[in-house]
Amino acid sequence: MARMRKKEDLPTKTCPVCARPFAWRRKWARDWEQVIYCSARCRSMAKCASAKKI
């Protein structure tokens, strides 16, 4: 079995909505390149904010 990585060794991104850093998760392994938001709440807030701008 493979050894576990330390959390600080995982790749990170910054959420454009809340500006907080978030780390790679196993469930995002296949589509890490497409992950933009840290949570469903930030994803919905971004959609709500873009609708208000129009």
pTM: 0.73
Report the distance separating Cα 29 and Cα 47, nearest Å: 24
Lookup: tokens for 17: 């909505």
Report the distance separating Cα 2 and Cα 30, nearest Å: 19
Residue 12 has pLDDT above 80, yes or no: yes
Q: Which residues contact 39 (CB under 8 A, 6 or more apart)?
A: 15
| Tens-digit pLDDT profile for residues 18-52 | 999 999 999 999 999 999 999 999 999 998 876 66
Lookup: tokens for 5: 């990585």
Domain spans, the chain: 12-53
pLDDT of residue 51: 63
